Structure 1
Amino acid sequence: MNGRTLFFRRLFDYYRYQFKVFHAVIDWTVALYIVLPALAFVIYQYIDLMNGRGLFYKWSEMMEWRWLYAVCVLIVCTGSIHTFLMEADKVFLLQKKEIIYQLKQYALMYSFLVTLAKWLLLFFIVLPFISHITLAESTALLCYLFGLHTTFLALKQDRIRKPRSISRRIAEILFRAVLFSGSAVLIVFTEWRLLALIGILFLIFAFVRGWKKTALFSAFEAEVTEEKKSRLALAGLVMMMSQEAGIPKVKDRLRRKPLLYRNSKRIFKRRTILTGYKELFFKVTLRNGEYARQMYMLLSAFTVLIFVSPIWLKLIALLVYTGVCRYILTLIFDKVMDAPFLIGADKESDEYYRARKSCINTLHYAFAAFCFVAAAVSLLFT
């Protein structure tokens, strides 16, 4: 066996698992009554959009095609570089290290090809509607966005190898903000040939950096953990709204104790049943990356929608977000309190419901306030 054979075997197994998850959710009744009508509606609206009429065309005219830039930003923030590593591969690192090295190389090229396929799909879908720029300019924009996306993926490989801290997260957010701001300036004011050249340089940088990382095995456990999370991403998305179902927890060995862990005695000086429930909820929520990821994805999607939407749609998005956010926070609280060591605890008591209401209100008000701030900032630019 060589690295190429192992890669295609792992790739086939990966998509077979995703197909099983997809098939478990969408059976023939769901496909007949929900998926097929929704697909027909999207195709019909797309044809109307190409002909200059329909709901989507009026919406795009009101938003002046700002939604397209928002979609590009969301795509850049998604994805990862696959390695297709498994825990059992550590046994063969000493004897079959060259095979694992080839596996990571093929996985790197596969990740870049998948990223390119995303941008090509978006390019050919949106190309008929981009009439204000030429084909060469739109191709240069595609090249730049693809190079920027691969650079983000290459830098993400360093992030998963290092323990996450508050300062590191803040620095990452600031770096992304600066890079996105600079990209907006380049797209608006830069000549298209220079924009394409910058995109090619980004792509070369990302590929060279990622190729060098494939030869390193110092972060083997972190790469295995990230691959497990990627494999369970679709299952987690499906089960996110289910209170009974759950996915296997992937142990992140690089996690540090959260900020409130060492200072919890100062925060909760009175150890009562009420503060015990609240402390448990905040500790588990901070240490579980899946819960934080769910809320981050939801907040990001609605923030972008609020920024690019007209005023009447901003109000609808705020109302929808307040309801959906509270519902998901309720599910998270109940899942946290379903821990085995809480079996026998009185979950019908006043302390439990008071703690539940307090924890949900704290996070709900914070997230809702962020959306209102985003709406206020977007009104300044309209």
Structure 2
Amino acid sequence: MNSWQLLFKRISQNWKQQFAVVKRVVDWTVLVYLVIPTIVISFFIYQSWWIQIPGWMRILPLSAIFVLFFLFLWGDHFLTYVREADRIFLRKKEKLFLGMKRGGIIYSYAFQWWSAATLCLFIAPLWFIHFDLQVGQLILFAALWVSLKWFIMAVKGKLDVELRGWRSLLRGIPLFIGAAIIWTWCYKAFINDNILMIATLIFINTIVSIWLVRSRFTSVHTFEKDLAIDELEKNKYMEIIFGLSMDMEKMPKPVPVRNSPRLYSKSNRIFKNRTPKNGFIELFIKATTRNIEYIIGYFQIMGVTSAAMVILPPIWLKVTMASLGTIFLLIWLGSVWHKVIGSHSFTKKYASEEGYFEGKKMVTTVLAIPFIIIICCSFIINIWIRNHFFFF
């Protein structure tokens, strides 16, 4: 087996693994009643865009396309498809190992071009009919986007991917600001038809990305970095899919052992009135506030729904997203309650008592109120923006 055969085998295994995870989450009922109808409806909607652009899309400025594509710049790395076992076997076969790594990086470059082509195909009706731009301009736009994405991927490959928490956030701020400045230059060069500036930006982004990734391309001594990046990418989509799954069993993440928790270190009572309902609510509050994942999940649902209320122009899309967000929040809260209270070995035997259901109802109501308030405020903000900024 040569290096390219090994690479294609690894790529195939990776896609099969991701597909297997999706199959475990999306059962046949979801596939038949939700996924397939969504694909069919989306196809006919997209086809109708080539005939007549919807009214809400006609108010979009070209800058909105650049803002949208800026959001798609993040989240990917250059992959080499190494595995933990390669530490023993393949590193002794340097030519085979290095050939596979090089092929993986070349594949990552090519895959981003395919991503750019897919995204550009999606906006093609808007690009040609609404903005009245040409194919050559779309190719230049795709080249600008993919070159900057290569640059960001190369920089991220130099950073410590195993760093988490606030340190990772602080480290990413300079990269975010730098990418925003470069993308702004790209936008100005594009609207001014400055071909020389566009070609210069594409050239610099591409050359810098190649220079930054050169050590991973030419050496086998970056194995630990390659392995960390590949493991991060392999688990990223699994964690998203597992997080959306309500029924799939998930392995608990290891947490450091502490002599006492940061919150409620002395097991302070939250409620003075000791009733079964208050007991369940108190246990839920302590369990969820001590776990940052539950807090992040709640604010993610709230943030995505409120952002959709501000960004999406047509009123029917706003109402749909608000309804779907509310339903998803209620389902998610029920899942968290069951995981924390209903399935716990010490409390599940009380799951049939009245206090259990009263506590669940109270928690759902209290947490739904801020969500509804934020959604309403987002709708008001959208109205204010439309009244003051005509291009929205």
Whether TM exceeds 0.5 here: the answer is yes
Gap runs ≥5 in structure 2? 272-278
2:80 is aligned, of 73, 80, 83, to: 83
- Residues 227 and 137 from structure 1, CA distance in 2 versus in 1: closer, same or farther, beyond 3 angstroms? closer
1:223 aligns with 2:229: yes
| Residues in 2 aligned to 1:213 and 1:185: alpha-carbon distance in whole angstroms | 29
Match of 2:49 in 1: 49
Q: State the secondary structure of the residue aligned to 1:197.
A: helix
1:59 aligns with 2:56: yes
Q: Is the 8 A contact 2:4 2:99 kept in 1?
A: yes
Q: Is the 8 A contact 1:326 1:360 kept in 2?
A: no
> Shift of the alpha carbon at 1:229?
0.2
1:376 aligns with 2:381: yes
Structure ID, larger Rg: 2
* RMSD, aligned CA: 4.4
Moved more, 177-186 or 355-364: 355-364
Q: Is the 8 A contact 1:87 1:224 kept in 2?
A: no
Q: Is the 8 A contact 2:306 2:374 kept in 1?
A: no
Match of 2:289 in 1: 282
1:156 aligns with 2:156: yes
Letter in 1 for 2:263: S
- Residues 311 and 12 from structure 1, CA distance in 2 versus in 1: closer, same or farther, beyond 3 angstroms? closer
1:110 aligns with 2:107: yes
> Shift of the alpha carbon at 1:119?
0.6
- Residues 242 and 32 from structure 1, CA distance in 2 versus in 1: closer, same or farther, beyond 3 angstroms? closer
Identity of aligned residues (%): 14
> Shift of the alpha carbon at 1:9?
1.4
| Residues in 2 aligned to 1:362 and 1:75: alpha-carbon distance in whole angstroms | 31
Match of 1:119 in 2: 116
1:204 aligns with 2:213: no
> Shift of the alpha carbon at 1:166?
1.4
Q: State the secondary structure of the residue aligned to 1:76.
A: coil
2:370 is aligned, of 365, 374, 380, to: 365
Moved more, 349-358 or 108-117: 349-358
> Shift of the alpha carbon at 1:303?
5.2
> Shift of the alpha carbon at 1:295?
6.2
Match of 2:196 in 1: 193
> Shift of the alpha carbon at 1:145?
0.9
- Residues 12 and 281 from structure 1, CA distance in 2 versus in 1: closer, same or farther, beyond 3 angstroms? same
Deviations 1:139-183 (A, max 9, x none): 222111111222232333345534213143145256425633652
Q: Is the 8 A contact 1:84 1:107 kept in 2?
A: yes
Moved more, 135-144 or 92-101: 92-101
- Relative to the length of structure 1, the TM-score reads 0.74
| Residues in 1 aligned to 2:303 and 2:97: alpha-carbon distance in whole angstroms | 36
Match of 1:310 in 2: 313
> Shift of the alpha carbon at 1:13?
1.7
Q: Is the 8 A contact 2:147 2:202 kept in 1?
A: yes
Q: State the secondary structure of the residue aligned to 1:130.
A: helix
Q: State the secondary structure of the residue aligned to 1:244.
A: coil
- Residues 22 and 221 from structure 1, CA distance in 2 versus in 1: closer, same or farther, beyond 3 angstroms? closer
1:2-17 matched pairs, under 5 angstroms: 2-17=2-17
Q: State the secondary structure of the residue aligned to 2:207.
A: helix
| Residues in 2 aligned to 1:80 and 1:368: alpha-carbon distance in whole angstroms | 38
Gap runs ≥5 in structure 1? none
Q: Is the 8 A contact 1:4 1:103 kept in 2?
A: yes
- Relative to the length of structure 2, the TM-score reads 0.72
Letter in 1 for 2:247: E
| Residues in 2 aligned to 1:204 and 1:125: alpha-carbon distance in whole angstroms | 28
